[in-house]
Amino acid sequence: MARLAGKTGNVYVGVTTIEDCEDVWNEQVDADVTASLDTSDYKVGSGSAKFICAAGIANGDIVASEAISSTDLTGCTAVMFWAKSTVNITTAGDLQLLIDEDALCANPLALDIPALVANTWKFCRITADFTDYNAAISVGLKLTANDPGAFTLNIDHIQAAKAVAGIKSWKIDQIVDVVDTTGFDSSSHRTFLPVLHGWSGSFEGYKDGAPLTHGSVVGLELQQSATATQQYRGTAIITGAHPSVSVDGLNLISYDFQGVGPIEIATA
């Protein structure tokens, strides 16, 4: 494996919630779709937006959309969210996330959702140009190609994100709790069983712009490089913010975070 230069790493954080997916989408719903709130399968909060799509849904159909409070997305450069499908979505862009300053996603910014593996939640980050989006009022989903037939789609915790300016380093601690399973049959040697997995960490750098809000639940992407596979992704809680300053130095700030649920681990 090639050695990586850390200078191309970065930290992306969801800074604005576009749609929390904690209620039923009802601005518009395709006739072949049943929209609901799924309180048994979700990634953040207490539910996810669920769409049961019958075989009649076709390429070009808007699956559903939801009216949102007017939201200023300028300054953000990406969206982050969780997605899950009951069938393989084999090509990026077969499904799109729509964001619009018009109702009913009538003239949307269309963002290609990555390929999805059936029955597997995926944390998605999509680059977006929100230069002129200072009053988004509608978010939606669209089927564009490779009609998969009948399938169910879940979406959760849609946030606008941006790289945190000034950050110079980050770290993640991946842990697993173990329990002692030693018994009389263990031949005087302790035995253990791994149980709960977790991850946490921190990032730090120079203060550049407004600080992140500690206590907030955010999408988080920690980049080893600009290569899509060399990034750690997941949902986290910002648990601490630590600004500091000295008379002979720059303003510094560091953040602590606690991962929520699984983390998508970087590969080669």
> Quick one: pLDDT band at residue 254, thresholds 50, 70, 90?
very high
Q: Please indicate, yes or no, if residue 77 is contained in any of the structural domains.
A: yes
Nearest residue to 103 via CA among 155, 16, 32, 28: 28
User: Is pLDDT of 164 > 70?
Assistant: yes
Tell me, yes or no, whether 80 and 110 share the same domain.
yes
Q: What is the pLDDT of residue 268?
A: 78
pLDDT (average), residues 123-135 = 95
Q: Which residues make Cβ contacts (< 8 Å) with residue 258, sequence separation at least 6?
A: 200, 236, 237, 239
Three-class secondary structure of residue 104 per DSSP: helix
Which one is predicted more confidently, 187 or 105? Answer: 105
Q: Which of 120, 141, 163 lies at the terminal end of a domain, its last residue?
A: 163
Q: Which residues make Cβ contacts (< 8 Å) with residue 73, sequence separation at least 6?
A: 16, 18, 99, 130, 133, 134, 136, 160
Tell me, yes or no, whether 150 and 22 share the same domain.
yes
pLDDT per residue over 11-70, tens digit each? 999 999 999 999 999 999 999 999 999 999 999 999 999 999 999 999 999 999 999 999
On whether the CB atoms of residues 22 and 47 are closer than 8 A, the answer is yes
Nearest residue to 180 via CA among 166, 170, 165, 194: 194
User: Is pLDDT of 2 > 80?
Assistant: no
Q: Please indicate, yes or no, if residue 58 is contained in any of the structural domains.
A: yes
Structure tokens at 168: 């110079």
Q: Please indicate, yes or no, if residue 4 is contained in any of the structural domains.
A: no
Which one is predicted more confidently, 195 or 227? Answer: 195
How many structural domains comprise the chain? Answer: 2
Q: Please indicate, yes or no, if residue 52 is contained in any of the structural domains.
A: yes
Q: What is the identity of the amino acid at 59?
A: N
On whether the CB atoms of residues 257 and 214 are closer than 8 A, the answer is no
State the residue for tokens 């609901």.
Answer: 36
Q: What is the pLDDT of residue 4?
A: 80
Residues 162, 168: Cα–Cα separation, whole Å: 15
Three-class secondary structure of residue 13 per DSSP: strand
Q: Please indicate, yes or no, if residue 1 is contained in any of the structural domains.
A: no
> Quick one: pLDDT band at residue 207, thresholds 50, 70, 90?
very high
pLDDT (average), residues 118-136 = 95
Query: Beta partners for 259?
Result: 236
Q: Please indicate, yes or no, if residue 111 is contained in any of the structural domains.
A: yes
Q: Which of 163, 188, 203 lies at the terminal end of a domain, its last residue?
A: 163
> Quick one: pLDDT band at residue 7, thresholds 50, 70, 90?
confident
Q: Please indicate, yes or no, if residue 6 is contained in any of the structural domains.
A: no
pLDDT (average), residues 66-79 = 97
Tell me, yes or no, whether 152 and 135 share the same domain.
yes
Q: Which of 114, 141, 163 lies at the terminal end of a domain, its last residue?
A: 163
Q: Give CA 146 to chain center in angstroms.
A: 24
- List the CATH number of the domain containing 193: 2.40.10
Q: How many helices (H) and strands (E) does the chain have?
A: 0, 16
Residues 175, 197: Cα–Cα separation, whole Å: 6
Query: Beta partners for 173?
Result: 200
Q: What is the pLDDT of residue 28?
A: 98
- According to DSSP, residue 227 is labeled S
Range of the domain at 74: 15-163
Tell me, yes or no, whether 24 and 138 share the same domain.
yes
Q: What is the identity of the amino acid at 143?
A: L
